[in-house]
Chain A
Amino acid sequence: MMNRLIPWLVLVEVIALVTAIVGWWTVPILAAVYALIYPDRKHWLSTALAGLCGWGLLIDITWFQGPVFELAGKVGGALGLPGAAFVLLTLIFPALLAGSAAELAAAVRRAVADMARPERARAR
């Protein structure tokens, strides 16, 4: 359990940190790298959660700096959404990026492995 939890927590923090330093588009890259390093049948779910939690962490930090709920209400309102929906959208967006990128990376890794397996069998 801890073997999986610690790398996942690291992923959450790395997503938050790299988003803050570089930008939103790093989320799928980090998730894909994670999926390649830590093969897991449910990597799409764990990386999606990591994306969600990573951005949630950044919103938490911003909450200490200013009125995030008021902001969610106002910006959400500008887009025709309730404030809660704007929060949800903000959390789902990195989750989709991370989950889909991890799933794609895992699929590529498995495909490569599957292609390599008959080669190895023949070689034996």
Chain B
Amino acid sequence: MKKGIIVRGLVAAVILAGVAHIGARRVGPIPPLGQLLDPWHGAWAAAAVSELPDQQTVAFAALDAPVRVVFDVRGVPHIFAESQEDAARALGYVVARDRLFQLEMRWRSTAGRVSELVGYVALGFDRYIRELGLAWSAERDFAALDPGSDALAMMNAYAEGVNAWVDGLGPRDVPVEYRILGATPSRWEPVYSFYLLKQMGWNLSHGIETDLLRLRAMARVGREATDALLPVNNPIQQPIQPNGQADPRYDFAPIPPPGAPDEQAAALADDIESFLGPLALRSEADRVLGSNNWVVSPDRTESGYALLSGDPHLGLTLPSIWYEAHMVVPGELDVYGVTIPSNPVVILGFNRDVAWSMTNTGADVIDYYEEVFDDPDRPTRYRVDDEWRPLEIRTEQYFGRGGRLLGTDTLYVTHRGPVIEADDRKLSMRWTVLEPQGVTQAVMRVATTTTVEEYLKAMETFNAPAQNMVVADRNGTVAIRSTGHYPLQPDNSGLPVRDGTQSTSDWLGYWPPERYPQSVSPDQGYLASANQQPIDPLADSTYMGANWPSPWRAIRINQLLAADSVVTPEAMQRYQLDPGNARADMFVPFLIDAARGRAEQGEYDDAALEAAELLSQWDRLYTKENERAVLFELAMDELYDRTWDELLGEPEGERRARRVFTPASAVLASLLHQPESVWWDDSRTSNTVEDRDAILTASLAAALETAKREHGEPHDGGWRWDGIRHANIYHLLNLGSFSALDLPIQGGSGTLNPSSGGGTHGASWRMVVQLGPEIEAWSIYPGGQSGNPVSSRYADRIEKWVNGELDPVVLPRQASDIRRSQTASVLQLNPER
């Protein structure tokens, strides 16, 4: 035998084995290439299934009767069914068809089972999530549902719909993300619909951060100063429940000087942070972003009909958190709005009589209790009132790709909730999000309400995350209510950590609904919320939370609505992107006056004077073409740095010291009225004691220098706001090529369309509804209905969203009402067996 043949054969065998191996098996981060590259079944197939078929008929055995789904040209499914269960089945089916990978990520990220999809890299996240007990509490709530309840029937029906799609999935229908990960879709369990509510609670329920921030601040400047920097009552009052004052009230009080560091608080903060790592790193900018909603009474609208605006702001992702849908069951249900993939209800939207929207309340709904266990290593009991109570013990196992066991944890639960292990402390956590919930039931009920009164009644079981709900009906009634469970604290305060050995530390109950901050059709003719403190402490001083977001957006929307007695739907849409800024209105005059005032006293600073001149030319608007907003924002950054130097932590190695906590800008506004406060002195400058105007002037000068260095001369075009502030909408897996990045937007910190440097938060859904004899509505969200990155429906709404345009909503009463020109696709689901 020739030697050459052997060599060629061996080389060929090695190449074949190698290529076949990388085709069939994952190699490091590279997925199995055969599945990925296969042009028929692999990633390429996503191109072939990117658009909806014109007509499609599908056999769906679980249905009781045929369901017709008409997709309009915006990709919105209008579901016409003969029962609410069938409508939920159809919704599950079309959501799975459009958003299957999002469904997968959603349940896994709440269950702490992301490692099974992406491997060891997610193990830390999974452990953290399971320790929080989100899925554990969802499963407990689900098990407690009445077997005959509508909520259970709807969740079961929704699961049947999702699974009908999953079970019939052809290789070409598998979303491209699964190909990239080398994974396969899993089936849907009804309990996953409850997971969503827990996850939303986790995203929106504040309290964890406030407690940690309080400890961090105490560790630097002591208790008394901390209480002023993290006030229970915002120094600027423009509450959600109108207080009878048209203008905001300024409750500016002296801020006590920094006190001695509290070492006990420092130790506790370190311990909690060892557990709360991911939350502790959440940036200040993320916290100040927020949602808006408002309603206008018929006597202040041009048409004489009530108007409602919904503008919830959340983390932006592709695909969007929302999925727009319309469900019609003749005589029973006709509801339109946005659902969150994984739940069978319209969360924000309207029916033929009532429209509603929500913003986050942000009340303090979490408390920690330091527990004493009978055995630090293998505990079985914890101590309360000199008695031992049994711990609930559960074992959690974590698996990676291919079912490999990555780790096992033993977790403990007291009567208050899950125990987190913060270094050597055992802290149990009571959190309204983990309490038995009635959110799904409430949101299901509101879909069929016909008046504001019915809506408010139906929402009484909505417990977490607490929401500021605006609602309007066709009778012209408008209302607002901050709805949710607010704990009644035994000491009417928000202590960071309580004594777990005493039952007297426990919550006394919840606020009754009649005490919730609320208002129905007030004389002023409008109501608005923007995450501000819900109720004026002069009206009710019961502890509800602390460190409320500064009410700049609330002030602005109240200004706009008070000034407009003939509001139109177009004005409502325009207000959602209003570029005005009450924060700038507050700070700019102080900055300008400080620089000029010091110059008059002989303290010339040419850069500060130039900056003051530039700021005086500013209209204080955050439009895309504006060339002065950047200077103000840089000046504010400098101002924070120079004023709150007392809150700097210890330097970390080579890195500069980080501020442990930044007080709200309303607190800084309060300090502006105390020009000689010791807080103005920058402790990093020796031999000089600065006052307010010195710091303001120095901030201006430094801001101008930074602006010129980073963006060029003021008149050269580099200062345009749209060249600086962008929205960045990342794909769920953070894949840059599947994301929409560097989108120029109108708005900045404190405007109604707030934005931060990262640009990853923003208006997740914009809706305007006019409640006339026939409902008219307009809507948009940043993204598209499809989760397929190459579908024309993946990001088709982003351009309009960026420009602040809303689409008119198609609202047929029956399938035949939709004109052919408005129809993109028809899906007929038949209960064939």
Partner of A111, one of B6, B40, B46, B47: B6
In chain B, positions 767-819 with a C-beta closer than 8 Å to chain A are 789-790
- Give the distance to chain A from B392, nearest Cβ to Cβ, in Å: 42
In chain A, positions 1-58 with a C-beta closer than 8 Å to chain B are 19-20, 23-25, 28, 44, 55, 58
Contact B47 A67 (CB under 8 A): yes
Give Cα A25–Cα B33 distance, bound, in whole angstroms: 11
What's the count of A-B pairs with C-beta under 8 Å? 132
User: Which chain A positions have C-beta within 8 A of B617?
Assistant: none
In chain B, positions 32-65 with a C-beta closer than 8 Å to chain A are 33-51
A89 close to B (CB within 8 Å): yes
Contact A23 B34 (CB under 8 A): yes
Interface string of B337-361 (1 = CB under 8 A from A): 0000000000000000000000000
In chain A, positions 63-104 with a C-beta closer than 8 Å to chain B are 63, 65-68, 70-71, 73-79, 89-90, 93, 96-97, 99-101, 103-104
Interface residues on A, range: 35 or more
In chain B, positions 1-42 with a C-beta closer than 8 Å to chain A are 1-2, 5-6, 8-9, 11-13, 15-16, 19-20, 23-24, 30, 33-42
Contact A104 B42 (CB under 8 A): no
Interface residues on B, range: 35 or more
Known A-B contacts A96-B15, A104-B9, A111-B1; A70 and B20 likewise in contact (beta carbons under 8 Å): no
Give Cα A71–Cα B46 distance, bound, in whole angstroms: 8
Partner of A23, one of B1, B41, B45, B51: B41
B737 close to A (CB within 8 Å): yes
**B40 nearest in chain A by CB position:** A20
User: Which chain A positions have C-beta within 8 A of B11?
Assistant: 103
By secondary structure, the A interface counts as: helix
Give Cα A78–Cα B731 distance, bound, in whole angstroms: 11
- Give the distance to chain A from B734, nearest Cβ to Cβ, in Å: 10
Known A-B contacts A78-B180, A93-B37; A103 and B43 likewise in contact (beta carbons under 8 Å): no
**A103 nearest in chain B by CB position:** B12
Partner of B735, one of A62, A63, A73, A78: A78
Contact A104 B12 (CB under 8 A): yes
Contact B6 A62 (CB under 8 A): no
User: Which chain B positions have C-beta within 8 A of A44?
Assistant: 12
Give Cα A40–Cα B44 distance, bound, in whole angstroms: 33
Contact B49 A66 (CB under 8 A): yes
Give Cα A99–Cα B180 distance, bound, in whole angstroms: 26
User: Which chain B positions have C-beta within 8 A of A73?
Assistant: 737
Interface string of B487-524 (1 = CB under 8 A from A): 00000000000000000000000000000000000000
B252 close to A (CB within 8 Å): no
Contact B20 A107 (CB under 8 A): no
Give Cα A73–Cα B34 distance, bound, in whole angstroms: 19
Contact A90 B51 (CB under 8 A): no
- Give the distance to chain A from B695, nearest Cβ to Cβ, in Å: 46
B738 close to A (CB within 8 Å): yes
Known A-B contacts A108-B9, A114-B2; A24 and B37 likewise in contact (beta carbons under 8 Å): yes
User: Which chain B positions have C-beta within 8 A of A79?
Assistant: 30, 180
**B49 nearest in chain A by CB position:** A66
Partner of A103, one of B8, B33, B42, B737: B8
Contact A25 B8 (CB under 8 A): no
- Give the distance to chain A from B597, nearest Cβ to Cβ, in Å: 54
- Give the distance to chain A from B404, nearest Cβ to Cβ, in Å: 24
- Give the distance to chain B from A117, nearest Cβ to Cβ, in Å: 9
Contact B41 A25 (CB under 8 A): no
Contact A23 B9 (CB under 8 A): no
User: Which chain A positions have C-beta within 8 A of B736?
Assistant: 77-78
User: Which chain B positions have C-beta within 8 A of A19?
Assistant: 38-40
Interface string of B280-307 (1 = CB under 8 A from A): 0000000000000000000000000000
- Give the distance to chain A from B61, nearest Cβ to Cβ, in Å: 27
Contact B38 A75 (CB under 8 A): no
Contact A66 B39 (CB under 8 A): no
User: Which chain B positions have C-beta within 8 A of A76?
Assistant: 737
Give Cα A33–Cα B54 distance, bound, in whole angstroms: 42
Contact B43 A75 (CB under 8 A): yes
Give Cα A31–Cα B49 distance, bound, in whole angstroms: 30
A121 close to B (CB within 8 Å): no
Give Cα A54–Cα B48 distance, bound, in whole angstroms: 18
Partner of B8, one of A23, A74, A107, A114: A107
Contact B16 A104 (CB under 8 A): yes
Which of A20, A66, A89, A108 has the most chain B CB atoms inside 10 A of its CB? A66
Partner of B23, one of A24, A104, A107: A24
Contact B23 A25 (CB under 8 A): yes
B81 close to A (CB within 8 Å): no
Partner of B12, one of A25, A59, A75, A107: A107
User: Which chain B positions have C-beta within 8 A of A20?
Assistant: 40-41
**A17 nearest in chain B by CB position:** B40
User: Which chain B positions have C-beta within 8 A of A93?
Assistant: 19, 23, 33-34, 37
Contact B47 A77 (CB under 8 A): no
Known A-B contacts A74-B790, A114-B2; A89 and B37 likewise in contact (beta carbons under 8 Å): yes
Give Cα A25–Cα B34 distance, bound, in whole angstroms: 7
- Give the distance to chain A from B363, nearest Cβ to Cβ, in Å: 40
Contact B40 A58 (CB under 8 A): yes
User: Which chain A positions have C-beta within 8 A of B176?
Assistant: 71, 75
User: Which chain B positions have C-beta within 8 A of A74?
Assistant: 737-738, 789-790
Contact B47 A24 (CB under 8 A): no
- Give the distance to chain A from B132, nearest Cβ to Cβ, in Å: 30
Partner of A62, one of B23, B33, B44, B51: B44
Give Cα A115–Cα B1 distance, bound, in whole angstroms: 7
User: Which chain A positions have C-beta within 8 A of B50?
Assistant: 66-67
Give Cα A76–Cα B789 distance, bound, in whole angstroms: 13
User: Which chain B positions have C-beta within 8 A of A59?
Assistant: 39, 44
User: Which chain B positions have C-beta within 8 A of A58?
Assistant: 39-40, 44
Contact A71 B15 (CB under 8 A): no
Give Cα A100–Cα B45 distance, bound, in whole angstroms: 26
Which of A19, A70, A103, A107 has the most chain B CB atoms inside 10 A of its CB? A107
- Give the distance to chain A from B273, nearest Cβ to Cβ, in Å: 34
**B42 nearest in chain A by CB position:** A24
**B51 nearest in chain A by CB position:** A66
Known A-B contacts A74-B789, A78-B738; A24 and B1 likewise in contact (beta carbons under 8 Å): no
User: Which chain A positions have C-beta within 8 A of B8?
Assistant: 103, 107
User: Which chain A positions have C-beta within 8 A of B39?
Assistant: 19, 55, 58-59, 62, 90
Give Cα A70–Cα B792 distance, bound, in whole angstroms: 11
Contact A107 B47 (CB under 8 A): no
Contact A100 B19 (CB under 8 A): yes
Give Cα A94–Cα B11 distance, bound, in whole angstroms: 17
Partner of A96, one of B6, B19, B38, B43: B19
- Give the distance to chain A from B181, nearest Cβ to Cβ, in Å: 10
Known A-B contacts A62-B47, A75-B43; A70 and B5 likewise in contact (beta carbons under 8 Å): no
Which of B1, B6, B19, B41 has the most chain A CB atoms inside 10 A of its CB? B19
Contact B47 A68 (CB under 8 A): yes
User: Which chain B positions have C-beta within 8 A of A67?
Assistant: 47, 50, 790
Give Cα A103–Cα B10 distance, bound, in whole angstroms: 9
- Give the distance to chain B from A116, nearest Cβ to Cβ, in Å: 11
- Give the distance to chain B from A106, nearest Cβ to Cβ, in Å: 8
User: Which chain B positions have C-beta within 8 A of A89?
Assistant: 33, 37
Give Cα A20–Cα B171 distance, bound, in whole angstroms: 10
Other A-B contacts than A71-B44, A103-B8, 15 sampled, CB-CB below 8 A, are A19-B40, A24-B34, A59-B39, A62-B45, A62-B47, A65-B47, A66-B790, A67-B50, A70-B47, A71-B790, A76-B737, A104-B12, A111-B6, A111-B9, A114-B2
**Can you identify 13 A-B contacts, CB atoms within 8 angstroms?**
A58-B40, A59-B39, A62-B47, A65-B48, A66-B46, A66-B47, A70-B790, A71-B44, A74-B790, A76-B737, A103-B11, A107-B6, A114-B2
Residues of A bordering B, CB below 8 Å:
19-20, 23-25, 28, 44, 55, 58-59, 62-63, 65-68, 70-71, 73-79, 89-90, 93, 96-97, 99-101, 103-104, 107-108, 110-111, 114-115
Q: Report, nearest first, the 8 A-B pairs whose CB atoms are least far apart.
A: A77-B737, A107-B9, A66-B47, A103-B12, A58-B39, A100-B16, A65-B48, A100-B15
